[in-house]
Amino acid sequence: MIRLLMPLAAGNAVKVMLNPPSHALSWRILRNTTGDFTEASLAVDLIYEGCEVAFIDTAGVINEVSYFYKPLYFDGKAWDSLFLAKQVTVAKHFTDLSCDPLLIVRDRLDLGLNAMLHAGQLTHPTLAVIPVLLSYPQFDEVQFPLVTLHTEHNQADELGIGYALTDDVDELGWMTQTLITITCWSLNGDERNLLKKAIKAVVMANLEVFDFAGLLQIDVQQADREEFTLYPWPTYMSETRFSCLSLTALVMTHSPLLELITVTNINDEITR
């Protein structure tokens, strides 16, 4: 018999746990969406054959669809098909609670730098804004100066932080170390220097905002560089390396289990 059918929180997957009779040597698990497992039924998939008592079914599993699972047990001579099919509905049951440091920093830089532009502390020769972008500039389309942001790395720093388990909810997470490179692009060194200082000022002014958004242990390093051959004209750049810790977390809500069957004696009598 099927002991447990559980749609996994990730979606598009079902955990199948079996309680085979004592005489069974191997088994097959059939699946369809109709519950009809007669010989006349054409819509039947063989999703497992072997002797494992638990497996995860992901083959063609679609969220918000109900599936029937039927076991067939082999005793060495014949297949036993008397055990009933069980039904389960598949769905996603998780919510991402993670913050995105790249978007948070980009938005705060965009607001802060352009507030300084409108206050006359920065200038742009052709535009009414200083562009703050998430990709490197196309030099035949861009107007300098501008700022770009790029994630250099994003990796788990402390696994298991924030893990908790309750009766109906799992909270799983860890602290993530993120390094963001903020590059200001200019056509002269003086303008680059002003923009570099402005970026640092905006970061400092937003420390409380970053903390409230979940960006912790912030560190900032700056370095200048120039490029005179790679681009169509001499380009002056300053790179601000912004690093922080932030929480990567999921809340996974348990879906109701289909049925739990436990064996009460060696004669395979069952209780539900």
Under 8 Å between Cβ of 83 and 70: yes
**Claim to verify: residue 132 and residue 234 sit in the same structural domain:** yes
**Claim to verify: residue 237 and residue 265 sit in the same structural domain:** no
Task: Identify the band that residue 262 occupies on the pLDDT scale cut at 50, 70 and 90.
Answer: very low
CA 38 to each of CA 29, 30, 33, 70, 81: distance values in angstroms, whole numbers, following the listed order: 14, 11, 13, 11, 10
199/190 Cα distance (integer angstroms): 14
Task: Identify the band that residue 121 occupies on the pLDDT scale cut at 50, 70 and 90.
Answer: very high
Helix axes 101-118, 189-205, angle to 10 degrees: 120
Q: What is the CATH number of the domain that holds 73?
A: 2.60.40.10
User: What pLDDT shows up at residue 269?
Assistant: 39
**Claim to verify: residue 168 and residue 65 sit in the same structural domain:** no
Higher pLDDT, 12 or 232: 12
**Segments forming the whole domain that contains residue 241:** 96-252
**Claim to verify: residue 24 and residue 127 sit in the same structural domain:** no
**Claim to verify: residue 50 and residue 159 sit in the same structural domain:** no
Structure tokens at 232: 């169509």
**Claim to verify: residue 86 and residue 187 sit in the same structural domain:** no
List all residues 6 or more positions away from 78 whose beta carbon is below 8 Å from its beta carbon. none
Instruction: Count structural domains, the chain.
Output: 2
With 70 as the cut, is the pLDDT of residue 213 above it? yes
Give the mean model confidence (pLDDT) for residues 180-208.
97
User: What pLDDT shows up at residue 117?
Assistant: 97
**Claim to verify: residue 150 and residue 58 sit in the same structural domain:** no
Q: What is the CATH number of the domain that holds 105?
A: 3.30.2000.10
With 50 as the cut, is the pLDDT of residue 51 above it? yes
With 50 as the cut, is the pLDDT of residue 200 above it? yes
What does pLDDT average to over the chain?
A: 88
With 50 as the cut, is the pLDDT of residue 11 above it? yes
Under 8 Å between Cβ of 244 and 90: no
188/228 Cα distance (integer angstroms): 12
User: What pLDDT shows up at residue 255?
Assistant: 58
**Claim to verify: residue 161 and residue 265 sit in the same structural domain:** no
User: What pLDDT shows up at residue 168?
Assistant: 59
190/126 Cα distance (integer angstroms): 17
Give the mean model confidence (pLDDT) for residues 181-200.
96
**Claim to verify: residue 188 and residue 118 sit in the same structural domain:** yes
Give the mean model confidence (pLDDT) for residues 89-107.
94
**Claim to verify: residue 87 and residue 123 sit in the same structural domain:** no
Residue showing tokens 């009779």: 21
**Claim to verify: residue 241 and residue 115 sit in the same structural domain:** yes
Higher pLDDT, 164 or 214: 214
**Claim to verify: residue 20 and residue 137 sit in the same structural domain:** no
User: What pLDDT shows up at residue 20?
Assistant: 95
User: What pLDDT shows up at residue 41?
Assistant: 79
